[in-house]
Amino acid sequence: MVETSESLLETLLAPGRTVLCDGAMGTMLYARGVFINRCYDELNLSQPDLIRSIHEEYLHAGAEMIETNTFGANAIRLARYGLADKVSAINHAGVALARKAAQHSEEKTATHAYVAGAIGPLGARLAPAGTITAQQAHDAFAEQIAALAAAGADLLIAETFPSVAEAEIVVRAARDIAPHLPLFVMVTVDDNGNTLDGTTAEETATRLTIAGADVVGCNCSSGPHAVLDVIERMRAVTHLPLAAMPNAGLPRAVDGRNIYLTSPEYMASFARKFAKAGATFIGGCCGTTPNHIKAMRSALRAIDAQVTAKAEVTDETQAAVQPPAFGERSKLAGLLANRQFVSMVEIVPPLGVNCQKELDGAKKLADLGVHVINVPDSPRASARMSAQSLCVQIQHKIGIETLIHVTCRDRNLLALQSDMLGASSIGLKNVLCLTGDPPKLGNYPDATAVFDVDAIGLVNVLRNLNHGLDLGKNPIGESAAFAIGVAANPGVPDVDNEVHRFALKVEAGAEYAITQPVFDMRLLETFLRRVEQFRIPVIAGIWPLTSLRNAEFMKNDLRVAVPDEIMFRMHKAGEVSADHARAEGIKIAQEMLAHTRPQVEGVQVSAPFGKYTAAAQVLELLN
């Protein structure tokens, strides 16, 4: 039984869902050395493995819908290469290759992928401006559509149409030949949002709706800004679902080649904007690659998860519970909720079974009025006493609250959930969600990493536990009542990606953040400005350097931004003596604390090499 246009669209248009499509085929072929004077559509016949491998890359990146390599597979375009008699063969092969890739992906992921038959414009002007009559255009489109339908395409995507008149012809041809297939129609526009024949976005959407398209939208064009403007304008005049698939910006000439420079992270930020503007089908056009689609997938998953979580918690899952107010979950949460400046010190678990030194340090810090002890989870992928064990002993024996780091490196999703349920049951309510350092950085480089999820996924897990739901959305009784924290690094080279991931963490449910050590105030200030729109309480990391070598380790091994001025200060102090270097490190840390205090909600001071006295000296500035 053939699935109707209506039933397939109902499946694709589930409430709150966005569908991620693939990116460019031509860009990928060009990158693999296929000259631009080749007929890319013919590669379905001569190089099928190449085409299928590109489909598989997009599916692996997270695409749920892939387009066949048939953009120019109509008789008028193919005639330029002497291939006008190969319309049926090329389109059948295009569908077969995409279907095989989709089936292979489904076998591995159990996630169904849809195959869209791609239809591009004729590449020749319609009469009277050109020589192609409306009937000739209709016949060319009909021939291609018949081949795509017979080969088993799930739907049709007519894209990059420069004129609405030509797009209307393809709609009529599709409705004549394959009325059972959903039809997407997308135009390309200029910087004013008009098609290349001067039709406005509003008129385009209206005419295509009347013509009988199932989905309308915009692709290609000058990049995501132009497409977003068109989507917003189309949304105002049509009830149809919308599709947005922009180029990765405009190409730039680099060493004689046209290169698209728009980053995956930038495209991902627009994927979220497209979804919020009302687009259901989101993908990429020229210049987009599997890396772009992967980044867009992460952005859209955060939106989908947020929508799904709200629906599950408030509507569908009657067993879900409301977690306690944030300020009631722990002392740390209470301080942040009441806008009291938080002080915490990091104590690293010991390499062996004896943690007396760490307990003594916690006692000294508690006596000085430190609010929270921060306990890392096998930092630098080293084998140490579990963070959970040390946290429990500090809380029970010393009486000061702890914050436990939890990494995704060492536990699969089941173990993460089990550990978190256990942590909540024994009173560990403050959690810092981290992806974790890979094992190759540690003292057991052959150890296996898990990484079922990253820090964003772990935040989602904890948010569900806070609502009394396990991984399968089954009720677990009461709320786990975690105060959910995440990390941030204002000094990374790719700050755009850091801001992007920070936004995803907040959307997933993060409630406060702790930064990497701060040595450059300009970077922190810039980062805080960048995240202002989704700001949560930020606790600044402070590290009292102990020597020039320690500063070099921070800068080169840990990739912490340490300005040359501070490197010079540590060098000069170290020339005097080791004690002078340690004193200078404490002085620098105090300066960082003084500068950051007005801008953040707290500080976390590290105790390098277990030097708790140094951490205490830094915090004297708060008294």
Surface-to-core class of residue 532, CB atoms within 10 Å of its CB (0-12 exposed, 13-18 middle, 19+ buried) = exposed
Residue corresponding to tokens 């630098």 = 380
**Single-letter code of the amino acid located at 458:** L
**Cβ atoms of 547 and 574 closer than 8 Å:** yes
Determine whether the annotation assigns residue 433 to a binding site: no
CA–CA gap between residue 108 and residue 522 (Å, rounded): 46
CA–CA gap between residue 95 and residue 472 (Å, rounded): 35
Who contacts 317 (Cβ-Cβ below 8 Å, separation ≥6)?
469, 473, 475
Determine whether the annotation assigns residue 285 to a binding site: yes
Determine whether the annotation assigns residue 286 to a binding site: yes
Tokens encoding 478: 């009461």
**Cβ atoms of 529 and 558 closer than 8 Å:** no
Q: Which whole-number Å values give the CA distances from 166 to 78, 119, 133, 161, 517, in the listed order?
A: 18, 12, 10, 7, 58
Kindly report the backbone phi and psi dihedral angles of residue 473, in degrees, each rounded to the nearest multiple of 5, phi listed first: 65, 25
**Single-letter code of the amino acid located at 621:** L
**Single-letter code of the amino acid located at 416:** L
Label residue 255 left, alpha or beta by phi (over 0 means left) and psi (-120 to 50 means alpha): left
Residue corresponding to tokens 């004549």 = 176
**Cβ atoms of 204 and 187 closer than 8 Å:** yes
Residue 73's nearest CA partner among 177, 171, 189, 157 is 157
Tokens encoding 526: 């810039």
**Single-letter code of the amino acid located at 484:** I
Who contacts 308 (Cβ-Cβ below 8 Å, separation ≥6)?
16
Who contacts 403 (Cβ-Cβ below 8 Å, separation ≥6)?
332, 344, 372, 373, 374, 375, 430, 431, 432, 485
Q: Which helix (H) or strand (E) holds 309?
A: helix 290-311
Cα 244 to chain centroid distance, Å, stands at 18
**Single-letter code of the amino acid located at 202:** E
Q: Which helix (H) or strand (E) holds 519?
A: none
CA–CA gap between residue 228 and residue 313 (Å, rounded): 31
CA–CA gap between residue 609 and residue 598 (Å, rounded): 29
Residue corresponding to tokens 């990059």 = 160
CA–CA gap between residue 483 and residue 485 (Å, rounded): 7
Who contacts 575 (Cβ-Cβ below 8 Å, separation ≥6)?
none
Query: Which amino acids are annotated as binding site for Zn(2+), given as ranges?
Result: 220, 285-286
Query: Which amino acids are annotated as binding site, given as ranges?
Result: 220, 285-286
